[in-house]
Amino acid sequence: MRLGIDLGGTKTEGLVLTPDGAERARMRVATPFDDYTAIIRMIAQLVERLEGESGSDRIHEIGIGMPGSLSPRSGLVRNSNSTCLNGHDIHADLTEATGRQIRLANDANCFALSEASDGAGLDARCVFGVILGTGVGGGLVFDGTVIEGRNLIGGEWGHNPLPGPEAMDGPLPVCYCGRAGCIEAYLSGPGLVNDHRQHTNEHCETAEIVAAAADGQVPAAATMARYEERLARALASVMNLVDPDVIVLGGGLSNIGRLYENVPALLAGPVFSDVIDTRIVPAKHGDSSGVRGAAWLWPQMQDG
């Protein structure tokens, strides 16, 4: 059995897979807000509950996908938009709290690996996976291998500046990372909500904005149009660099159906090619791709 955990900003999902990849147990819980100790305790409890529900023997090795990464220098969490994780030795703390061996990887890398392995990017050589959720992350998989990079920041596209800021993009929104105008600050769920508020003086949640746009309400439709145009610009910068075969979208905002029609139509301007047949598709495993990728961390690394 394999056990994977996807630690997200608002929810945490756990999964037990049989050796042939079938699901034996699955649970989803709310992530404690801004409380590192509570998060560690929650993960330890989730592991116990998943094991109990799956009826398996003790699972000694656990894979965990998380926002951010471990610094190659200190081993401590950095770059996490769940900022309470930053600066902690999460590997040591989870090893102690769970009494098991832990492997950690960036959540977007887990997502991209899952979709490249048996998801929407199956059979593609180069897959760029994008999480559009509480935060924005990217993961690049080439020939089945995650490109982690020299400094373990491969795919951290969410903290590039949004390309070519235009008048409608200002003033640049401040990002949790300390910079302003990051892709994440525009394309995350909170980024969308913030942009809508700036242009309308109204606070609406993402689902309300999407519904209002579908209903033909002009301010919400304009917010969605800005979002799509920015997503096209941001993806074009990846396409001009690595030109992936498939771009797979995950995270809560990937459920917005209109993105798959409208964003490809906006690529012709910023992408430096006369032909653009890159597929932009939703994740096959939906919200569960991150947790599936986490569950595969152990066997993959042992095989590799």
CB closer to Zn ion out of 80 and 109: 80
CB 173 within 8 A of CB 181: yes
What gap in Å lies between CA 37 and CA 104, rounded to an integer?
Answer: 17
Position among 59, 182, 247, 253 found at the interface with Zn ion (CB under 5 A): 182
Query: Contact between 271 and Zn ion (CB under 5 A)?
Result: no
CB closer to Zn ion out of 182 and 266: 182
Position among 175, 209, 249, 283 found at the interface with Zn ion (CB under 5 A): 175
Peptide bond into 171 cis (omega under 30): yes
Tell the smallest beta-carbon distance from residue 222 to Zn ion (Å). 25
CB 169 within 8 A of CB 230: yes
CB closer to Zn ion out of 179 and 284: 179
CB closer to Zn ion out of 177 and 192: 177
Q: What is the DSSP letter of 85?
A: G
Q: What residues have CB less than 8 Å from 84, skipping those under 6 apart?
A: 34, 35, 36, 39
Tell the smallest beta-carbon distance from residue 275 to Zn ion (Å). 33
Query: Contact between 159 and Zn ion (CB under 5 A)?
Result: yes
CB closer to Zn ion out of 171 and 216: 171
Q: Judging by DSSP bridges, how do beta strands 145-146 and 136-142 pair with one another?
A: antiparallel
CB closer to Zn ion out of 187 and 246: 187
Which part of the chain contacts Zn ion (CB under 5 A), choosing from 83-91, 99-107, 182-190, 203-211? 182-190
Tell the smallest beta-carbon distance from residue 157 to Zn ion (Å). 11
Burial class of residue 274 (count of CB atoms within 10 Å of its CB; 0-12, 13-18, 19+): exposed
Which part of the chain contacts Zn ion (CB under 5 A), choosing from 147-155, 172-180, 213-221, 295-303? 172-180
Tell the smallest beta-carbon distance from residue 162 to Zn ion (Å). 10
User: Could you identify the residue written with the tokens 């590192």?
Assistant: 36
Tell the smallest beta-carbon distance from residue 175 to Zn ion (Å). 3
Amino acid letter, 113: L
Tell the smallest beta-carbon distance from residue 190 to Zn ion (Å). 12
Tell the smallest beta-carbon distance from residue 34 to Zn ion (Å). 18
Query: Residue 302: how many CB atoms within 10 A of its CB?
Result: 8
Query: Contact between 177 and Zn ion (CB under 5 A)?
Result: yes
CB closer to Zn ion out of 109 and 114: 109
Exposure string of 181-209, with b = 16+ CB inside 10 Å and e = fewer, is: bbbbbbbbbbbbbbbbeeeeeeebebeeb
Query: Contact between 136 and Zn ion (CB under 5 A)?
Result: no
Query: Contact between 134 and Zn ion (CB under 5 A)?
Result: no
Over its C-alpha atoms, the chain yields an Rg (Å, rounded) of 19
Within 231-250, which residues bind Zn ion (CB under 5 A)? none
Tell the smallest beta-carbon distance from residue 84 to Zn ion (Å). 17
List C-alpha distances in Å: 269 to 31, 170, 175, 272. 40, 21, 27, 8
Tokens of 84: 């309470």
CB closer to Zn ion out of 88 and 179: 179
- Residues 226, 114, 94, CA angle at the centre, nearest 5°? 100
User: Could you identify the residue written with the tokens 């049989």?
Assistant: 18
Query: Contact between 183 and Zn ion (CB under 5 A)?
Result: no
* Residues lying near Zn ion in the complex (CB under 5 A): 159, 175, 177, 179, 182
